[in-house]
Structure 1
Amino acid sequence: MIGVFKEEIHSVPCLVIVDAKMENQALPIVTYFHGFTSAKEHNLDTAYLLAEKGLRVILPDSLHHGEREDGISAGKRSLAFWDTLIQNIKELEMIKNYVDEKGLLLDGRFGVAGTSMGGITTAAGLQSFPWIKTAAIVMGSPKLTTFTEELINSYRKVIDLPVTDEEIVKLVETVGQYDLSKQMEKLAGRPLMFWHGESDSVVPFEHSYSFYQDAKELYANQDDIHFIREANRDHKVSRYAKLEITKWFEKHL
C-alpha cells in the first residue's frame, strides 16, 4: 500500500509518498516542487505513480505557499517570486542532506522534478548541485535570466514596481548565478527530460525547447535527453505528461 506521510524537514512542511512497507528503507528519491500559487498536495497523483515504482517522493511546500502561505497578499507573493525560487534551491540541499543523514537515500540516487516554478527550480538545481542524478523540467524555463527580465517587463505593464532600477539590476545578477542556460556544461550528461505545452501562455514554450535544442548537442547519448511537446496544451500538465515523468524516473533513477 502506498502511504502518504506528513513530515517537517528542517521546518519545511513536506509530504512523503512511499510504499508503506518500505517507509524506513533506503530508496531512490525524487523531490518534486510545485508551481507558483500551488501547494505540495497538488502533485500527489504524480507522486503516487512514482511511489508505485519503488521510489520515495518528497513534496515540499515552497515559501509563501501551502502551509507556509501565512496570509500573504497575491501582490506581495508575486513580488516574492524570486525569493521563493532561491529559497527552494537552498531547501533542496537541506532535503538532500536530511535523507543522507537518515540513511534513506539508496546509492546516491536522487532525482528532482517540478512544475512551472518547480521546473525553474529544477533547472537551477541542476546548475547548482552535481549530486542530482536525473531530472524532469515540466513547463519550466531553464533560461532564468531571460525569464526574469520578461516577467519584470510584464509586471511593469500593469503596476508600478516598488523597486528601483538598481534593485532590478541586482536581482537579475543574483538569479543569473542559477541560470543553467549560461553554464550548460554543468549538465554533464545527466539524464534530463522536458515536458511543455506548445500553447503555454505563462512560461514560454520556446524557453525550454530552444534550450533543449542547444543542450542535446552536448550529450553523447541522445537517449539521456528527451523533450515531449504537446500541441494545443496551455499551462496545465496532462495525464500523459505524468505517465511519461514516471517512466523517465523508473528508467533513469
Structure 2
Amino acid sequence: MIGVYEAEIKTIPSLIVVDTKKEGIALPVITYFHGFTSAKEHNLPLAYLLAQQGYRVILPDSKYHGARENGISVNKRQLSFWDIVMQNVIELQYVKDYVDESGLLLDDRFGVAGTSMGGITTSAAMTQYDWIKAAAILMGTPKITTFAKAILDEFKKIGDLPLKQEVISDLLDQLTNYDLSKQPEKLNQRPLLFWHGEEDEIVPFHHAYSFYEQVAPSYSNPDDIVFIREANRGHKVGRYATLETVKWFASHL
C-alpha cells in the first residue's frame, strides 16, 4: 500500500509518498516541485506511480503556494516568480539534509524533477548541487535569464512593471548563477530527461530543445540525456509524460 504522509521539513509543508512497508527505511529519493499557482498535492498521481517503483517521493509547497500562500495577491506572486525559484533551490538543500540526517536516503540516490516552474527549479538546482544524481524537466527551461527577460518585456509592453531598472539588473545578475544554459558543464554527464509539448504557449518549447541539441553530443552515453517532444500538446502534462517520467527514473536512479 502507498501512504501519503504530511511533514514539515524545516518549516516547509510537504507530502511524503512512499510504500507503507518501507516508510522507515532508506530508499532512493525524488523531490518533485510543482508549477506556478499549483501546490504539492496536485502531483500526487505521479508521486504514487514513483512510490510504486520503490522511491520515496517528497512534494514540497513552494513559497507563496499551497499551505504557504498566506493570502498573497496575484500581482505580488507574479513579481515574486524568480524569488520563488531561487528559494526552491535553497530549500532543496533542506530536503537533502532531512533525508540524510533521518537515514532515509539509500546510496546517495537523490533525484529532482518538476513541472513548469518546478522544471525551471530543477534546471537551476543542477547548477548548484552535484549530489543530484538524475533529473527530469517537464515543460521547464534551462535558459532562465532569457526567459526572465522575455517575461519582463511582456510586463513593460502593458506598462505594468513596478520595478526599477536597478532591481531588474540585480535580479538578472542573480539568475545568471542559476542559468544552466550558461554553464552546461555543470551537468557532468548526469542523467537528464526533458519533456515538452510542441505547442506550449507559456514556456517556449525551443528553449529546452535548443539546449538539448547543444549538450546531447557531449554525453558519452546518449541514453543518459533524452528529449521527449509531444506534438499537439500545450502547457499541460498528460498521462504520456507522467508515465515516461516514471520510466526514466526507474532506469536512471
- How does the TM-score come out when normalised to structure 2? 0.99
* Residue matched to 2:180: 180
* Residue matched to 1:227: 227
How many residues are paired up?
A: 253
Amino acid at match of 1:219: Y
Question: What per-residue deviation string (whole Å, max 9, x for no partner) do you get for residues 75-126 of structure 1?
Answer: 1100010111110000001100110000000000000000000000000011
Q: 1:166 deviation in Å?
A: 1.4
Q: 1:217 deviation in Å?
A: 1.6
SS state at 1:129 partner: coil
Q: 1:63 deviation in Å?
A: 0.1
Alignment of 1:56-135 (within 5 A): 56-135=56-135
Q: Deviation above 4 Å: which 4+ runs of structure 1? A: none
* Residue matched to 2:37: 37
* Residue matched to 1:5: 5
* Residue matched to 1:200: 200
Q: 1:160 deviation in Å?
A: 2.6
SS state at 1:234 partner: coil
Amino acid at match of 1:180: L
Alignment of 1:132-143 (within 5 A): 132-143=132-143
Tell me whether 1:189 sits opposite 2:197 in the alignment. Answer: no
With 87-96 and 153-162 compared, the bigger mean Cα shift is at 153-162
* Residue matched to 1:250: 250
Question: What per-residue deviation string (whole Å, max 9, x for no partner) do you get for residues 229-248 of structure 1?
Answer: 00110000010000000000
* Residue matched to 1:46: 46
Unaligned runs of 5+ in 2: none
1: CA distance, partners of 2:203 / 2:160: 22
Amino acid at match of 1:186: K
Q: 1:209 deviation in Å?
A: 0.3
Unaligned runs of 5+ in 1: none
Q: 1:156 deviation in Å?
A: 1.5
SS state at 2:220 partner: coil
Tell me whether 1:166 sits opposite 2:166 in the alignment. Answer: yes
Q: 1:251 deviation in Å?
A: 0.6
- How does the TM-score come out when normalised to structure 1? 0.99
Q: 1:159 deviation in Å?
A: 3.6
Question: What per-residue deviation string (whole Å, max 9, x for no partner) do you get for residues 186-218 of structure 1?
Answer: 100000000000000000000100000001021
